[in-house]
């Protein structure tokens, strides 16, 4: 059976002026099956010297008239894969992506996770819509692999493809492997489409990666301390809250948990860079 959206080896069964027809091996000797299960490979894509009976590797998709068509061009994305594709055009139907074939790939508005613009790159996978056409989707979760080579404390990089208020930020590590930055590990303004650097907290039994954008506590303290000093500067030299503030206030203003904030404030106190008052934290002038 011919498989839409996949690279496959098909056999040339008929030559015509405008190309050749190719079919699966199982249909070659079955006249009834052959009538239904063959596809045109246009002449410009027929490898030189190929004739009836020869096998050719092709990718099958649909042309501008929604007819099955084969090509020997290599698409940048096939079924079951995830790839980063450039937006060639945005229209009233959605965005059209350059995937290396003559006909651009449609990314419908309903399959977009964020506003996208012409020229940017988006991480997508393939699916077959209700009209039996190939389309792109930014819902890549089910196509991400769980056999990464990474271990606990490895540094990785990946693309944020979804943000859940309940779970956190879902990340495609290396644009290939399944990862999650849990809500409690989120820090800073992370958005869908961002590329993040993270640390592997653990490799789960199912192979998915739990991630953090923060270092181990003893390494992170100095970084957090500098962030607090920058925040103090933005507030004119004095924060209007201290380490006794509620976790919600601290998270909102600094992006840190209360424990992370207290550790960083302790570092600044130890180094005589701040003083704590009943109402806030003040910078000590050098």
With contact defined as beta carbons under 8 Å apart, do 172 and 82 qualify?
yes
| 256 and 221 in a common domain | yes
Residue 63 belongs to what domain range?
7-71
pLDDT at 219: 63
Q: What angle do CA 83, 84, 86 make, to 5 degrees?
A: 135
Q: Which of 212, 232, 261 is the last residue of a domain?
A: 212
Residue 252 lies in a domain: yes
Strands 121-128 and 82-91: antiparallel
| 159 and 107 in a common domain | no
Is 229 buried (19+), middle (13-18) or exposed (0-12) by CB count in 10 A?
middle
Closest by CA to 21, choosing from 68, 63, 66, is 68
Q: Total structural domains in the chain?
A: 4
Tokens of 62: 């649909």
Residue 135 lies in a domain: yes
- What string of H, E and C letters represents the secondary structure of 42-96? EHHHCCCCCCCCCEEEEEEEECCCCCEEEECCCCCCCCCCEEEEEEEEEECCEEE
Predicted TM-score of the model (pTM): 0.74
Question: What residues form DSSP beta bridges with 127?
Answer: 135
Residue 117 lies in a domain: yes
Domain of residue 239, CATH code: 1.10.10.10
Q: Which of 124, 141, 158 is the last residue of a domain?
A: 141
Tokens of 81: 């894969």
Residue 76 lies in a domain: no
Q: Which of 212, 238, 256 is the last residue of a domain?
A: 212
Residue 242 lies in a domain: yes
| 94 and 62 in a common domain | no
Residue 33 lies in a domain: yes
Residue 1 lies in a domain: no
Instruction: Report phi then psi at 150, rounded to 5.
Output: -85, 155
| 222 and 208 in a common domain | no
Measured CA to CA, the distance from residue 64 to residue 177 in angstroms comes to 33
With contact defined as beta carbons under 8 Å apart, do 114 and 191 qualify?
yes
Which residue do the tokens 């012409």 mark? Answer: 118
Measured CA to CA, the distance from residue 87 to residue 98 in angstroms comes to 6
pLDDT at 262: 87
Query: Per-residue confidence of the chain (286 residues) as pLDDT tens digits?
Result: 899 999 999 999 999 999 999 998 876 666 665 667 789 999 999 999 999 999 999 999 998 888 899 999 999 999 999 999 999 999 998 999 999 998 999 999 999 999 999 999 999 999 999 989 999 999 999 999 999 999 998 999 999 999 999 999 999 999 999 999 998 888 777 899 999 989 999 999 999 999 988 766 556 777 888 889 999 998 888 899 988 889 888 888 888 888 888 888 888 888 888 899 888 998 887 6
pLDDT at 144: 97
Residue 55 lies in a domain: yes
pLDDT at 73: 96
pLDDT at 33: 59
pLDDT at 286: 65
pLDDT at 100: 96
Domain of residue 117, CATH code: 2.40.50.140
pLDDT at 62: 92
| 65 and 87 in a common domain | no
């Amino acid at each position: 059976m011919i498989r839409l959206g996949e690279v496959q080896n098909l056999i040339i069964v008929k030559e015509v002026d405008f190309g050749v027809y190719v079919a699966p091996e199982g249909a070659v000797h079955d006249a009834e099956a052959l009538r239904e299960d063959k596809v045109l490979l246009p002449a410009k894509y027929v490898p030189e010297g190929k004739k009836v009976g020869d096998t050719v590797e092709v990718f099958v998709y649909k042309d501008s008239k929604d007819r099955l068509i084969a090509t020997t061009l290599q698409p940048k994305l096939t079924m079951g894969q995830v790839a980063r594709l450039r937006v060639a055009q945005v229209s009233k139907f959605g965005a059209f992506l350059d995937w290396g074939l003559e006909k651009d790939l449609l990314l419908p508005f309903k399959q977009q996770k964020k506003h996208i613009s012409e020229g940017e790159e988006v991480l997508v996978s393939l699916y077959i819509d209700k009209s039996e056409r190939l389309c792109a989707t930014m819902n890549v979760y089910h196509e991400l692999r769980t056999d990464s080579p990474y271990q606990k404390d490895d540094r990785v990089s990946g693309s944020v493809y979804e943000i859940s208020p309940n779970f956190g930020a879902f990340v495609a590590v290396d644009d290939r492997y399944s990862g999650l930055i849990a809500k409690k590990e989120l820090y800073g303004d992370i958005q869908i489409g961002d590329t993040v650097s993270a640390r592997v907290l653990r490799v789960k039994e199912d192979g998915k990666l739990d991630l953090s954008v923060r270092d181990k506590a003893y390494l992170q303290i100095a970084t957090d301390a500098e962030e607090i000093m920058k925040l103090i500067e933005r507030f004119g030299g004095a924060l209007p809250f201290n380490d006794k503030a509620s976790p919600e206030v601290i998270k909102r203003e600094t992006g840190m948990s209360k424990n992370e904030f207290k550790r960083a404030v302790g570092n600044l106190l130890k180094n005589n860079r701040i003083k704590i008052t009943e109402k806030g934290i003040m910078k000590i002038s050098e």
